[in-house]
Structure 1
Amino acid sequence: MWQRGRVDASPVDVDLALLGGGGAAALVLAALDRHDVAGLRIAVVDPVHKRGQDRTWAFWGTPGGEFDPVLSASWSRVDVVTPAGRRVLPLAPLRYAMLRSAPVYDRAAAAERRIGAVRIGAPAGALHDDGHRVSVHDPEGRVLLRAGWVLDSRPRPPQRPGRTNWLQHFRGWWLAADRPVFDPDRAVLMDFRTPQPARGVSFGYVLPVSDRYALVEYTEFSPAVLADAAYDAALRGYTGRLGLDLDTLRVREVEHGVIPMTDGPFVTRPSPRVVRLGTAGGATRPSTGFTFSAMLRQADQIARALAAGGPPVPAPAYPRRHRWLDAVALRALDRGHVDGVEFFTRLFDRNPPERVLRFLDGVTTPVEELAVMRSTPWLPMTGAVLGDTVDRLRDRLRRAATGVPGAGSRAAGRAGS
């Protein structure tokens, strides 16, 4: 029986190794268990065994998913708020859902036990892939294990900087009250009444778990992060805008994060038997920062492939045309072709909510995408398209002149950003 535990100095051989034990790896482990993948020797390599509440995922989808029993909350309608007013978006047949990390990590730990996975409590370093097996080394160069396939979810930057390089950065307070102050039936998806940065767009966010407990967040899409004091000041201002008295509330937890929003290419297949997951594998949508739904889709694809005896290679997280649309949108926002508040307001004002949410999640059809494009400011977006086309041509000519391979070449692997 392949026992879970820490290995000694002798490298072990496994069929599948997961590097990193965060959300992407946890979803894969749960999916392997759900699809009854058996007979594989599996290892998880990470110096930290993730437990508890260290992050919150918000996503939309249809009811009846794997994690429905452990959702913290879900909403059938959400609000988008601008200085001009409040728009209530009915989401049926979709719903917006909140999932905290603890139940995801708990399911992954239970899956590890049931499938008999080995956990190696050490950081992974370099990988050496000979096309048949992958040697996983520690940072000092010692071989930790050899695997038939490696799923690598460790954070890493894109292969090269994008033409636009923004960040989604945020801080949230979990606020507890002694009396009802929140509406648990309605989440605030975007509230643009926050002071807008000189370059970028900001908004508030409210996810109520009950009438006395909610996550209230300040988010920016912009090129650089803020100082800690600036996030706290923004949150104090936003809670005041909501009519909340911080003197009567308690901050139970603080969440902070930084997510890349870039058209730089992430290489999902750096070598024949190494597959990258999570943000490093292109699961983050460049124009929104949403990641969870793509990670969940890819985890399911990996488990289904292994259950059928195939290679654990998921489809690209988003279609190529969506990556191009993201690049154009980021360029338009970054160069000031469009106002960020106006851009998102028009999306929700001129499209059914389901179409917008499906578009932001990367699952719309070309016909739906044309309708979304028609709802954006036409002339400014046309200018962004032309500018992006010119820059792509220049990049291609420069790489050809210097002999640098492109993101889609054999040397670089398959790009998935």
Structure 2
Amino acid sequence: MSGTDVVIVGAGAAGLSLAHWLTEQAPPAPLSTPLSTPPSVPLSVPLSVTLIDAPEGPLRPPDRTWCFWEEPGGPYDALLTASWDRLRVHGPDGAATTGRTTPLRYKMLRSTGFGAAVGTRIAAAGVRRLTAVVDGIVDGPVGREGAEVHGTRADGSPLRLRARWVFDSRPPRVTPPARTVLLQHFRGWFVRTPRPSFPPDTADLMDFRTPQPARGLSFGYVLPTGPCTALVEYTEFSRTVLTGEGYDRALRHYLDRVLGIDGYEVTAVEQGVIPMADTRSTVRAGASVFRIGAAGGATRPSTGYTFAGVQRQARAVAALLHAGRVPVPPPAHGPRARAMDAVLLRALDTGRVAGAPFFTRLFRTVPLPTLLRFLDGDTRPSEDFAIGLRTPVRPMLHTALELPFVPRRATNGRPPR
């Protein structure tokens, strides 16, 4: 049975990002660094890292578009499909609010380009990659460090791999208990038009000129990659997903009736479901086994944005490993942000707050850079309070007061994909 310092299960955004940051040049680990239980010694630099890809099929993450905001000069800027410093929101009344994101930029990154570039880099740095279905991860017995990863390789042979640390990015088989569970579900069309139809310098973050569900919300989302090309998505926050024809019907309505575009060609399609729930994520699955990415709480419950949280988490884990510390992934979002998310999710789910007017008012009354920092959990308490006054105060306060008395309920099975 072979061994390694680190095994990463899954080569999606979380797995590849952690492998990337582990191969960054790190300072020598100080020998005096105190370590947590279980006992250990500072890990050598560079670490031996094994990344396990799922085979082609339903276990491998499909191609994705990730969006996030940060200042120019980020580590993945050379890989971006597009970026914008102007965002626009259309309210249900049709009025548009446009703002500049400066000093931030809204960035669009395709998983295909990210995977190819990061894969090349980590291979050059000596990361070993295997293709296998992981059947189980067995934490080491008491008093013995490490864990074993069991699975089946692509050629059908068994896999047994021992590691000091294991990081698992696979979706949990059973979602943790929650008081509120909504789904952010969407289908996007990459479209090409015969004539200029999209302003390349402006992304439509939320367009609420779509039929709204009784509870939750729906909106259009337009990311132009050129005057004649864009990713156009229809998105809902609700309890249940649509059929394939339901998404296509909504997209046709949005392109034809709302945007007034005809004669477009659909060049590619993407679709996804992101659970939005006030769960208590448990990142530690054993003494030497940790969950990362969406499985480790990197998704912001109120927005579904994940990529920025993945990067914060991966960089922190890499820093802990290089320092010889026990690499418990830190929360990607602080307790204040998670508490506000829980209130908003329940307010939307109960119908006390109408989603489209709620978000429209925020974008109309809060400076855009401040609002983006708020959505990323990077604002001060005084800023959070000021933003809270621009929400429906009475129903939000009612929800906040009742929330401690609402039981968390288990959700059996994986969330729909």
TM bucket normalised to smaller: 0.7 to 0.9
Deviation per residue, 1:312-367 (Å, 9 max, x gap): 33321111121111111000000011111111112212211112111111222222
Rounded Cα–Cα distance in structure 1 between residues aligned with 2:61 and 2:343? 38
Deviation at 1:242, TM superposition (A): 4.1
Give 5+ residue unaligned stretches, structure 1.
1-10, 400-417
2:196 corresponds in structure 1 to: 180
Rounded Cα–Cα distance in structure 2 between residues aligned with 1:49 and 1:30? 22
Give the 3 Å change call, closer, same or farther, for CA 49–363 of structure 1 in structure 2.
farther
1:213 corresponds in structure 2 to: 229
Is the 1:53–1:102 contact (alpha carbons within 8 Å) kept by the matching residues of 2? no
Task: Say which SS state the counterpart of residue 178 (structure 2) adopts.
Answer: coil
Give the 3 Å change call, closer, same or farther, for CA 313–86 of structure 1 in structure 2.
same
Is the 2:23–2:46 contact (alpha carbons within 8 Å) kept by the matching residues of 1? no
Give the 3 Å change call, closer, same or farther, for CA 143–121 of structure 1 in structure 2.
closer
1:137 corresponds in structure 2 to: 150
Is the 1:135–1:143 contact (alpha carbons within 8 Å) kept by the matching residues of 2? no
1:405 corresponds in structure 2 to: none
2:343 corresponds in structure 1 to: 328
Deviation per residue, 1:363-385 (Å, 9 max, x gap): 22222211121111111001101
Matched letter for residue 119 of structure 1 = R
Task: Say which SS state the counterpart of residue 224 (structure 1) adopts.
Answer: coil
Aligned counterparts, 1:267-346, within 5 A? 267-346=282-361
Rounded Cα–Cα distance in structure 2 between residues aligned with 1:160 and 1:31? 28
Aligned counterparts, 1:151-170, within 5 A? 151-156=167-172, 160-170=176-186
Task: Say which SS state the counterpart of residue 256 (structure 1) adopts.
Answer: strand
Q: CA RMSD in A?
A: 2.3
Deviation at 1:52, TM superposition (A): 11
Rounded Cα–Cα distance in structure 2 between residues aligned with 1:26 and 1:143? 21
Give 5+ residue unaligned stretches, structure 2.
28-44, 411-417
Is the 1:158–1:264 contact (alpha carbons within 8 Å) kept by the matching residues of 2? no
Deviation per residue, 1:285-331 (Å, 9 max, x gap): 11110001000111222222233333333321111121111111000
2:9 corresponds in structure 1 to: 19
Is the 1:263–1:326 contact (alpha carbons within 8 Å) kept by the matching residues of 2? yes
Select which of 246, 254, 278 maps to 1:238: 254
Is the 1:27–1:104 contact (alpha carbons within 8 Å) kept by the matching residues of 2? no
Aligned counterparts, 1:42-191, within 5 A? 42-48=49-55, 54-84=63-93, 85-130=95-140, 132-138=145-151, 144-156=160-172, 160-191=176-207
Deviation at 1:266, TM superposition (A): 2.2
Select which of 260, 272, 278 maps to 2:275: 260
Rounded Cα–Cα distance in structure 2 between residues aligned with 1:33 and 1:252? 36
1:411 corresponds in structure 2 to: none
Structure with greater proportional helix content: 1
Deviation at 1:281, TM superposition (A): 0.3
Rounded Cα–Cα distance in structure 1 between residues aligned with 2:61 and 2:229? 18
Rounded Cα–Cα distance in structure 2 between residues aligned with 1:221 and 1:135? 39
Rounded Cα–Cα distance in structure 1 between residues aligned with 2:236 and 2:19? 32
Is the 1:158–1:267 contact (alpha carbons within 8 Å) kept by the matching residues of 2? no
Deviation per residue, 1:68-127 (Å, 9 max, x gap): 111111111110101330000111111111111122112321233122222221111221
2:374 corresponds in structure 1 to: 359
Rounded Cα–Cα distance in structure 2 between residues aligned with 1:203 and 1:183? 19
Report the identity percentage: 45
Task: Say which SS state the counterpart of residue 197 (structure 1) adopts.
Answer: coil
* 1:377 and 2:392 matched: yes
